[in-house]
A and B are shown apart, each in its own frame.
Chain A
Amino acid sequence: MIRNVSPKNFDWLVFPIICIILAIGMLFVWSASSEKFLFKQLVWVLTGFTFFFTLLYFDYLSFANYAYIIYGCVFFFLILLLGLGGSVKGSQRWFSIGTFAIQPSEFMKIALVLALARFLRYKKYGLGLFDIGISILLTLIPMLLIMKQPDLGTALVMVPVLISILYAAGIRLYQLLLLIGGGLTISPLFWMFALKSYQKMRIIGFLWPDKATDWGAGYHRLQSLIAIGSGGLFGAGWGNGTQNQLKFLPERHTDFIFAVIAEEWGFLRACLVIFLYMVFITCGIGIARSTREPYGRLVVIGLVTMFATQIMVNIGMTLGIAPIVGITLPFISYGGSSMVTSFIALSIIFNIKMQSKIDFAFMK
């Protein structure tokens, strides 16, 4: 197959947007923690860019060939982690290799998108029961493992990803509604068997704040709301947020960094951040739409959904409208695994975009 990769197909709208988001992110990682973390974050961003440009040189269709193998490998690591992963303060999410800690669950999200797209790429409109069943299994099994780790946030991101890929692959509407309905019906099973009691507390605390007994989440929520609310229209100014600088706000530089942005930059500029993300998501869907090759479009829609879910749940939880689950804000939150996986996903989207102009009509 002839590859038609050219710099002129490079997405010159999304790339600068991501760069701006990264810059904002580093600014506030600095404000929320210290130079030390800023420097580390810089290292992660550079690592991310290395991954980004390296992966651009591969043909994304080769990802399709290796999709199941990648999926299998990451899955294997997940199981390994459950078996022998050193429990870091009770939760098993990391593999430590030297000073680096690798979080397989982050990579699982991408591997899942690749595998689902590979499986569904040539299906005709109106997926069969078998197709839907296998897709659900592909999602559900790693999801359960990740929940056991326990990492509720990452596991929950997989649900919208599955739904959007099925939707783009041509599931019938009634099938989709049945699927969602069925999911809601069996969710009590998850409740009983898969969730740990503190996770249940988080969800109860979110749905019925009065009955919340999870003091930690309540404290988080309160401090985050105070931070955001006190930002007002124009904010306290960079480095001046009381909630942030006096360390009232927990998880300032990772999960709750949006609260810091909102406190110090105020409503207007926080909206700018949301707007930048919105443009990114819109462009992403545009790429999916204009990609004729079926594998590519499924991968793009899956990855874009992944980004969108993470962004919305993360911001939602700082605003007190989503349960507090550990989800990072892509390209902004401090953290290695999250940064690198975000860049890998971005690279795949760009890769597909740069080849999208090839006419695959001859394949039909």
Chain B
Amino acid sequence: MYPYRFKIVLIIFALLFICIAVRLFQLQVIEGDKYKGISKNRRIATYPLDATRGSIFDRNGKMLAVDQHTFDISIQYKNLLYSYVSCNNNSISRIKDMEVHKRAKKSCAECHVNQDVWLQKLSQLLGITQVKLLENADQIVKKVERLKQNIEQKSGRATRIKEETDYYPIVSDVAWEKVIQIEVKQDNFQGIRIVPRPKRVYPEQKLASHVLGYMTKLNEDEWKANSDKWNNYILSSSDVGNETSSLLYDGYAENDYIGRAGVELQYEEKLHGLRGKRFEEITCKNTQVEKVILERPPVSGDNLYLTLDSQIQTCAEKSLGANLGAIVVMDPWNGEILAMSSSPRFNPNTVNEEFDKLIKQPSKPFLNRAIQGALPSGSTFKVITAVAGLSTNCINNQTSVQCTGYTNFKNIIFKCWSTYGHGMITIEDAIPYSCNVFFFETAKILGGESLYSWAKKFGIGEKTSVDLPYERNGNVPKMADTASVMNVAVGQGALLVTPLQLVRVYAAIANGGILVQPHLLLKLTNNQGEAVRTFKPNNKQKLPIQPAILDVIHNSLVDVITRGTGKDMGLGIYRVAGKTGTAETGREKDNHAWFVGYVPYDKPKYCFVILVEHTPGHSAEITGPVARELMSYLFPEVNQSS
């Protein structure tokens, strides 16, 4: 109908196709050589740009960990090699090549003039001996040469590898004034580069070191595993929609630090940020940048706000003092951990230097006892036995037991801690006076399965899913015979609990039977300060305990302090409710002292656990002073009024 219109369409298409062919000609034939050079990777260099790692704050915004800028001095590899060759008259197979190069140096002075000079210049400037500098250089040269040899053996011919053109850090943490001197006199320091590098600093030193964790360098294998991801930045069409992920590659560069423990490890992915990359075209001398071709700026990591209150944390650490043990303070209503201290501690700022020393210490400073110290719980477990007994109607308020200081079961003597016995005793006295015999008798009626299931309901023997790595499970044994049930009922035997599990049990009693999820994450914010993630509980569960039973337990926990085993701890004025526990290790004068509870008992605000390991005394006398000190910090107004 309009045949000429089809012709016009055809002509338009044909013209466009010709345009494409012309452009192809331009790229491939006219400019081909330029791109050929680039593609053989000779004149293009890529440099990683470090991203600032997210800072870590406590709940009030006090800074606990931050990246500070430091400067490394990096030297170009060929300079290192020359120094190596000229100072070590030895071993390397390429030494003959180097001789040739050295002669070439005379002929092409412009390019090869300063190859040995860096050493004396740096040594002069920084006041470091040349020997020391050379030591660092030697390691790098040896590593690269080994790599080169491997590659050449494989390929069977002389190969120039990418590592030979790189710069390598020789001195780190260089003072700012020195850096300026180098920057100003660039020409004097050819082949030397200043590389800014973020360094992790923990301004509060040892504070909350177990929660924060520490960072160390990637080892070679880890880096290899990650660098592949890093170099192969792939934008697949399925990624296009996502604005950030389409632009990034994750992973690490050599010499990067990575979180190894605590929240530094747990939130590594969020804190780490995204590394940038710069493509530079290099001139013949390989020292100067002709042009930055492309640069992807780094994206800094998210800031992490913890639920920790650094004041309470400080108090907890002071109260614990030099004792081996742990303190956890938690909000009983939502599981926010306000303080988590474990002793002894380490200083995350100096971990890298002291690592070998610390790891060998018998007191295990890297162990976060609050989540990894699984120990028998002693009498503190009696609360679970009591709830189990009352809930299954094995016992009730009126059930009374005659305590004569021991009970006999199948000719085994099970002792109460009081050799005189407690006389006729009901649950309302059995918890305050921590009478073992009462719970032995309860255990006989209760049976193993019932106790096991109640312990599990309270989360004993399972991870609390707190946001920290390497949490321990603890253990509730399967109790086959009555004797072992009796042992577990008073917190002995094969029972193992972590302080965090225990504090959660008491939080449940304080808040009316809700098993909260303990956590440290308050929020993650991006660099604009917007919260990108807040804590969402995934396993907050209501325990099937009748309120009447909780009341009984609650009242007896109050009585522990007013008239029971905790009478002399001096905690009455703080209105503490809690339970002491002394776990025996089987060795004479070697116990674990526990004290768990919540405060104030009428309107619980804090829930706490105090653990002192390997102590000769009994719970109340050991944990008493610690608890009193902690309470005096938590409630300064009470101190004044009394």
Contacts and interface: CB of A to CB of B under 8 A. Distances in A.
B445 interface: no
Interface string B228-247: 00001111111111110111
A90 B29 contact: no
Contacts of A326: 237, 240
Contacts of A66: none
B121 interface: no
A72 interface: no
B496 to A, nearest CB: 43
Contact of B13 (A227, A229, A231, A281): A281
Interface stretch (B18-26, B601-609, B621-629): B18-26
Contact of A91 (B3, B14, B27, B241): B241
A90 B242 contact: yes
Contact of A315 (B20, B40, B293): B20
Interface in B10-66: 10, 13-14, 16-17, 19-21, 23-25, 27-29, 31-32, 34-36, 38-41
A222 B28 contact: no
B2 A232 contact: no
A288 interface: yes
A250 B38 contact: no
Given A215-B247, A222-B294, A227 B1 contact: no
B241 A215 contact: no
A225 B35 contact: yes
Interface residues of A, number: 66
A342 interface: no
B9 interface: yes
A321 interface: yes
A251 interface: yes
Interface string A158-188: 0000001001101000000000000000000
A267 B234 CA distance: 26
A90 B241 contact: yes
B6 interface: yes
A198 interface: yes
B296 interface: yes
Interface string A216-243: 1011101001111111110000000011
A36 interface: no
Contact of A89 (B16, B38, B232, B242): B242
Given A215-B247, A267-B25, A278-B17, A229 B232 contact: no
A228 B27 contact: yes
Interface string B511-538: 0000000000000000000000000000
Contact of B24 (A197, A251, A312, A319): A319
A40 interface: no
B241 A150 contact: yes
Interface in B485-531: none
B239 A89 contact: yes
Nearest to B243: A198
Given A170-B1, A226-B38, A243-B39, A255 B24 contact: no
B186 to A, nearest CB: 27
Contacts of A227: 39
Given A231-B28, A267-B29, A319-B23, A308 B6 contact: no
A35 to B, nearest CB: 19
B94 interface: no
B17 A219 contact: no
B185 interface: no
A225 B237 contact: no
Nearest to A242: B39
Q: Which of B27, B233, B243, B293 has the most CB of A within 10 A?
A: B27
B410 interface: no
A337 B296 CA distance: 33
B9 A218 contact: no
Given A198-B243, A271-B24, A312-B17, A164 B9 contact: yes
Contacts of B13: 278, 281, 285, 308, 312
Given A262-B24, A281-B10, A319-B23, 7 more contacts: A90-B242, A150-B240, A167-B9, A222-B294, A228-B27, A230-B32, A312-B20
8 closest Cβ pairs, A-B complex: A91-B241, A229-B35, A90-B242, A215-B296, A230-B39, A90-B241, A267-B28, A289-B6
Interface of A: 87-93, 125, 149-150, 164, 167-168, 170, 196-198, 214-216, 218-220, 222, 225-233, 242-243, 247-248, 250-251, 254-255, 262, 266-267, 270-271, 274, 277-278, 281-282, 285, 288-289, 294, 297, 301, 305, 308, 312, 315-316, 319-321, 326
28 contacts: A89-B245, A90-B241, A90-B243, A90-B245, A91-B239, A91-B241, A125-B2, A168-B9, A216-B246, A219-B235, A219-B296, A225-B27, A225-B35, A230-B40, A232-B32, A233-B32, A247-B234, A250-B233, A251-B234, A251-B235, A267-B25, A274-B24, A277-B17, A278-B17, A282-B10, A301-B6, A308-B16, A326-B240
